[in-house]
Amino acid sequence: MIAEPLVNRHFVGAGALSGLLLVGATAPSRFGLLAFLALVPLLAAAVVASSPAEGARAGGSCGLVFFGLGFAWLPLRFREPILWGVYALGVPLLALPLACFGAALAELARRFGRRAALGFAPGLWAALELLRAESMGVPWLRLADALAAWPALIQGAALGGTSLVSAWIVAVNGAAASALATRRPGCAIWPIAIAACGAALGQCALPGAPALAPRWRIAAVQPDVPAPQRFSPARFDANLERLLALSRLAARESPDLVVWPESAWERSAGDGGEPFLGAVANALEVPLLTGLRRPAARGSAFRWNSVALALPDGSTRIAGDKVDPIPVYESAPETALARALARAVRWPGVVLAAERSGIAELAARSGEPLRVGLLVCIDAAHPGLARDLRLRGASLLVSVANEAESGSWPARQHAAQVRLRAVETRLPLTRVANTGPSVWVDAWGREIARLDVGRERVGVAALPASDPPPPYVELGDAPVLSGLLAPALACVMAQPLRLASARRSPTKEDERWRRTAGDTAAQTSGRGTADGPP
């Protein structure tokens, strides 16, 4: 039986401790393995709660601390008044699903037992993460992101995506919570066994290096243009010259493709891109991909955040647009509520959302066709977009980013997330960022090369070919979530049968109570009462 004194009934404190540990695990650092213990206080508190309200307090406090600290960089870096309002309202809104998570575990523990409730936790957590990413538009700070630096630990993403990796982490936490809060020391083997099993399977899945022959050479141009200089028209020529000088260095190493970062310069381009880009590609004799912005219509304040492809024959075309601009800060007010807010206060976002990510088709130096799936900045945080690109025939993923304004904290987080996109799709990936880090990742999530943050550099690295599409590409999240939630559904459906069986079949305790009551009644009738004989 789980010992209630373990959490001392301080539900808010236990949840807040989990929130702090989650911040440490998902921070851009080497503390990602904290994820295997971060949820233990929350889970233990939720399943010993005497009511769903107590479980909700534990979950809610975890969410407030986790998202409050995890997203604190947003208003602090941008200093837009509306972003402070979004932060103040958004953090409690993001914490609400975690409050429901705690309440659900408390109710499940009351109905089915505490160990059974911990068994439901992985599926519930994975479902809430998916809900937050797809319905609330916040794909960051998933548990699986904490393990991105350890490729052997994220290979489950090829089977069930980020949801499966996150669920596995929660399962380890649940086993640890049960082991630490039980009076049976032998249960301590379960979290170790679950973690070791997943890690061993991932390690066995990683192929040997000789099997991955280099196939495409991709050049990443990292100009490291500071945020104030990006928006200065007087700096346009200097910034462009920096890109050209780095690209000339890259061309000496005979790459198949040169990539410039997101919004490489702050000047609007035409519907087909900038004509001079074709001249650049022609002079380099290498295809060029570059991020740029272009007006949605003549005279419109709204923009598309696009990627243009320039070929050595001098032709230029728009290859794709950003699908998920950053809410409020970047996205244009397209809903009725957003337009109302934009009339009341200054709304910084002007970027429209595209329907789907683009694919750039070009020829490698060998003459082999190359289909490049394009992910613009935080589009790389959405597994569904990368999966769709693989289904449409992409053979390589390229993510362009520009985090000069947001700073190195989210930049490092995004650079880690892209490893999961590579594993989920079994496609090699190159991330090219203005201020870095720029990284090259193979189809198994292993980092091949890196340009660090805050350096003006260019790099060329060879990427191996893609692997066959894994199960996640074909099936998505639905099978995994169904499998994880099936036990909970089975228990809920079985509850009426258990109650009916209990009514038909008295327990041993009921039989003992009845025998004791019968003996007491017989003794009383034999003695009589003070008023007279029986």
pLDDT of residue 141: 95
Query: What pLDDT is stored for residue 493 in this prediction?
Result: 62
Q: Which residue has the higher pLDDT, 202 or 241?
A: 241
Please give the pLDDT value at position 327. 84
**DSSP reduced 3-state for 446:** coil
pLDDT at 529 over 50: no
pLDDT of residue 524: 43
On the question of pLDDT at 426 being above 90, the answer is yes
Map residue 429 onto helix, strand or coil. Answer: strand
Q: What percentage of the chain exceeds 70 in pLDDT?
A: 83
Give the mean model confidence (pLDDT) for residues 228-243: 89
Task: Give the mean model confidence (pLDDT) for residues 179-196.
Answer: 60
How do the residues of the chain divide into helix, strand and coil, expressed in percent and rounded to 5? 55, 15, 30
* Three-state SS at 356: coil
pLDDT at 533: 43
**CB distance 266 to 303 below 8 Å:** no
pLDDT at res. 8 = 43
Q: Which position has the higher pLDDT, 221 or 349?
A: 221
Cα–Cα–Cα angle for 221, 224, 229, rounded to 5 degrees: 125
Q: What is the pLDDT of residue 335?
A: 82
Instruction: Write out the H or E segment, with its range, that includes residue 398.
Output: strand 396-401
Least confidently predicted of 36-50, 208-222, 309-323, 434-448: 208-222
What is the C-alpha to C-alpha distance for residues 119 and 98, in angstroms, rounded to an integer? Answer: 17
**Is 187 a residue whose pLDDT tops 80?**
no
- Higher-pLDDT residue of 330, 391: 391
CA 81 and chain centroid, separation:
27
Q: Please enumerate, as own/partner, the contacts of 36-39 that have beta carbons within 8 Å and a separation of 24 or more.
A: 36/169, 36/172, 36/173, 36/176, 36/191, 36/195, 37/173, 37/176, 38/173, 39/121, 39/125, 39/169, 39/170, 39/173, 39/174, 39/177
Contact 182, 221 (CB under 8 A): no
Angle (nearest 5°) at CA 361 between 360 and 367? 140
192 falls in which pLDDT band (50, 70, 90)? low
Residue (of 174, 102, 142, 180) closest to 22 by Cα position: 142
Which of 14-28, 45-59, 149-163, 334-348 comes out lowest in average pLDDT?
A: 334-348
pLDDT, tens digit, 9 for 90 and up, residues 86-139: 899 999 999 999 999 999 999 999 988 888 888 899 999 999 999 999 888 899
Q: What average pLDDT is seen over the chain?
A: 86
Q: What is the pLDDT of residue 184?
A: 57
pLDDT category at 280 given cuts 50, 70, 90 is: very high
Of 40-54, 277-291, 482-496, 503-517, the one with minimum mean pLDDT is: 503-517
Q: Is the dihedral angle over the CA atoms 229, 235, 236, 239 positive or is it negative?
A: negative
Question: How much of the chain exceeds pLDDT 90, in percent?
Answer: 60
pLDDT value at position 115? 83
- Note if the pTM is more than 0.85: yes
Strand order in the sheet with 457-464: 316-321, 303-310, 288-295, 257-259, 214-222, 457-464
- Mean pLDDT computed over 210-217: 75
